[in-house]
Amino acid sequence: MPFPTVPYIPLQISETERTSVAESVFTEMDSRRSVRQFSSVPVPRSLVEIAIQCASTAPSGAHKQPWTFVLVGDPDTKRKIRVAAETEERENYEGGRLPPHWREDLEPLGTDWEKPFLEHAPWIVVVFEQRYGTRVDGTRQHHYYVKESVGIACGMFITSLHRMGLSTLTHTPSPMAFLRDLLERPATERPFILFPVGYAASDCEVPDLVRKPLGDVLVTYPAPD
Ligand code: IYR
């Protein structure tokens, strides 16, 4: 059965405003940074829920919306997540599980096995990819382009948080299968990215990174004259 169709009316922006809107969107997104130091100032649950709703507007393969967001705010669960993540990361950094090239690439970022932000941030959002779904009759529902779909949803999530003045970190403790057990998710789901969410600490510092200029990331085909 095809979906019924409805007229689509995109945002109405005048030609004269379009370039300034484009530039301000870029400037705003260019000011986003991944944050590892969070304030413990509370963030209303409703704000994070709106960011999750925003993420869940993402396009997805065959519109299957193959994602689950788990919102964690209680200190006990956050502590359990921190302890389990640090156990894995300690093995990475100090047990020799990170290959030398990876350690070298992380060195400028100054990351280590300790993850205090997992307790300091008021919220943790763990995004799970649904490898497949279950229909009401219990049969298996195929999902398509799951990583692409969930990746786009995560991008929209961090965009939404940034626009609200909130900060996050795209954290992937490795391996992170422990999150499925700890958060009691079914075997059909796999943890994808963990996001601590909160206000950046007032003394928060971030690495002074430089982003690649357009010319390094864009290839125009055919080459312009
Ligand atoms: N997951 C580890 C290592 C790590 C990996 C990458 I790629 C980073 O950009 C940062 C860290 C950790 O969280 O420390």
- Tell me the Ramachandran region of residue 60: left when phi exceeds 0, alpha when psi lies from -120 to 50, beta otherwise: beta
- Tell me the Ramachandran region of residue 63: left when phi exceeds 0, alpha when psi lies from -120 to 50, beta otherwise: left
Quick one: pLDDT band at residue 1, thresholds 50, 70, 90?
confident
Structure tokens, 57: 């507007």
pLDDT value for 176: 95
Which of 104, 174, 178, 192 has most ligand 1 atoms within 8 Å of CB, for mutation?
174
pLDDT tens digits for range 14-59: 999 999 999 999 999 999 999 999 999 999 999 999 999 999 999 9
Calculate how far, in angstroms, residue 172's C-alpha sits from the geometric centre of ligand 1: 7
**Residue minimizing CA distance to atom 12 of ligand 1:** 173
40 close to ligand 1 (CB < 6 Angstrom): no
**42 Cα distance to chain centroid:** 20
Mean pLDDT of the chain: 97
Calculate how far, in angstroms, residue 116's C-alpha sits from the geometric centre of ligand 1: 14
pLDDT value for 182: 98
Q: Which domains does the chain have, with CATH numbers?
A: 34-200 (3.40.109.10)
Residue of 111, 47, 124 whose CA lies nearest to 82: 124
24 close to ligand 1 (CB < 6 Angstrom): no
pLDDT value for 210: 96
pLDDT > 70 fraction of the chain, expressed in percent and rounded: 100
Which of 172, 178, 206 has most ligand 1 atoms within 8 Å of CB, for mutation?
172
173 close to ligand 1 (CB < 6 Angstrom): yes
Whether 191 and 176 have beta carbons less than 8 Å apart is answered as yes
Q: Which atom of ligand 1 is nearest to the CA of 113?
A: 14
pLDDT tens digits for range 96-123: 999 999 999 999 999 999 999 999 999 9
pLDDT value for 225: 86
d(CA 196, CA 171): 8
| Run of H or E including 71 | strand 67-72
